[in-house]
Chains A and B, each alone.
Chain A
Amino acid sequence: MRYIDHHAHMASRTTDDYANMALTGCVAVTEPAFWAGWDRSTPEGFEDYFRQLMEFEPKRAAAAGIQHYTWLGMNPKESDNREISIEVLKRIPKLLEGPTVIGIGEIGLNRVTKNEITTYTEQVELAATLGQMVLIHTPHLEDKLKGTRITIDVLRDFPSLPPGRVLVDHAEEHTIEAILEGGYWAGLTLYPQTKVSAARAVDIIEKYGPERILVAGACDWGPSDPLAVPRFIAEMRRRRHDEALIHRVVFENPFRFLSQSPKFRLPAGVAEAAAAQAG
């Protein structure tokens, strides 16, 4: 079954991972800018990373037959550093003009500090001003509930940013209702331990239905799985869900959300072939 992984940190992965994703049906990935596992020391360090996302990763993906798009922004883990955040944000508007840059992300909160909220708010304001789509990271583990609440509170302060153009990612059982009720898209990221398992993601689909819910592997440099979406597909089949529902979640939904950016395009015939394959 063909699928789109809306959240994959491919800069942290091998070329073999691209190949395996393609072999399991991946036709496109979108890659949000994120934390490298260590803090960058200069704004120029961010610029180099953004260039990697805009220039190098699309070529590696294309070699495997995968479309690659990116989101740029100051990631939550480094956003407490106001000095660097201010400098990075000055560079974002020009970079957003890149042909594969589809929005601002991943932005949001980590430990929910005052500085993080300031940097996040500035980026939401930038998105609202520039008419950009947004991909939002919500905090990990015990910080998720509080962080998601504040994340949504800030979004409400910018009514010019349509909720349907905002993806609130890393949703879990205790945050998804608030995200969906706000009119935002909710992302379920499939992790071995720290976020949502494939089985729990299927539970969430069973409970809330597929409307405005996306699933992704969010594979990165830590314990994670670039083939998490195919494993989700396998779990859906294990529960005997029909192919059309699975296709809706792993292809139609991300296609619908991402196609709000005029830059997001799949090769001719791919969407039709995916639909035909799903019956």
Chain B
Amino acid sequence: MSASQPHRSPLRPSELVDEYFIENRNRVIEIAAFLDRLDRSDPSIADSDFRVMALREALAVLTSGTTNRVHDIQVLLSDPTTEPLPALDRKGAVGAWDRTKGGR
């Protein structure tokens, strides 16, 4: 329905890298540091906490070669069910759906 047209950035690919490389280099290192921190605390948490499990799956998407990485990671972290909750369980979301509950 949208008649809108994409508006690509006028920046050339190399200019995009120049502009955004350092901050994204930092983000990757921060994630690595977070995972190392968890390992120092308890190496088994990566296989027991559904949020960390989801994060590791998301990291795999980054290197999967897809061109829709943000969308795919958003879906991966989302509740895939369609039925409403029968009652309020808690006030807020936690950032990843607990797939150990089943559902897909």
A-B contact pairs, 8 of them (CB 8 A): A113-B84, A141-B93, A146-B82, A174-B75, A180-B1, A181-B2, A208-B6, A241-B9
Residues of B within 8 A of A142 (CB): 77-79, 93-97
Residues of A within 8 A of B70 (CB): 173, 200, 203
Shortest distance in angstroms between B87's beta carbon and chain A's nearest beta carbon? 6
Contact A180 B86 (CB under 8 A): no
Contact A145 B78 (CB under 8 A): yes
Interface size class of B (residues with CB under 8 A): 35 or more
Contact A240 B11 (CB under 8 A): yes
Complex: how many Å from CA A181 to CA B2?
6
Complex: how many Å from CA A213 to CA B75?
21
Complex: how many Å from CA A53 to CA B70?
36
Shortest distance in angstroms between B84's beta carbon and chain A's nearest beta carbon? 5
Residues of A within 8 A of B93 (CB): 111, 139-143
**A112 at interface (Cβ–Cβ under 8 A)?**
yes
Within 8 A of A (CB), among B46-88: 70-71, 74-75, 77-82, 84-88
Complex: how many Å from CA A167 to CA B88?
26
Contact A238 B2 (CB under 8 A): no
Residues of A within 8 A of B87 (CB): 113-115
Interface of A is mostly: helix
Q: Select from chain B the residue with minimum beta-carbon distance to A140.
A: B93
Q: Select from chain B the residue with minimum beta-carbon distance to A142.
A: B97
Within 8 A of B (CB), among A215-248: 238-241, 245
Complex: how many Å from CA A182 to CA B1?
7
10 more contacts with CB within 8 A, not counting A210-B4, A212-B4, are A77-B91, A139-B93, A140-B92, A141-B93, A142-B97, A143-B93, A146-B78, A174-B78, A209-B2, A211-B2
Complex: how many Å from CA A203 to CA B84?
32
Residues of A within 8 A of B95 (CB): 141-142
**A87 at interface (Cβ–Cβ under 8 A)?**
no
Shortest distance in angstroms between B85's beta carbon and chain A's nearest beta carbon? 4
Interface string of A50-90 (1 = CB under 8 A from B): 00000000000000000000000000010010000000000
Complex: how many Å from CA A146 to CA B82?
6
Chain A contacts to B: CB under 8 angstroms = 77, 80, 110-117, 139-146, 149-150, 172-174, 180-183, 199-200, 202-203, 205-213, 238-241, 245
Complex: how many Å from CA A174 to CA B72?
8
Complex: how many Å from CA A206 to CA B7?
4
Shortest distance in angstroms between A128's beta carbon and chain B's nearest beta carbon? 20
Contact B79 A145 (CB under 8 A): yes
**Which of B8, B19, B85 is in CB contact (< 8 Å) with A111?**
B85
Complex: how many Å from CA A180 to CA B42?
44
Complex: how many Å from CA A156 to CA B16?
41
Contact A183 B79 (CB under 8 A): no
Known contacts A80-B88, A145-B79, A146-B79: A240-B8 contact under CB 8 Å: no
Residues of B within 8 A of A183 (CB): 1
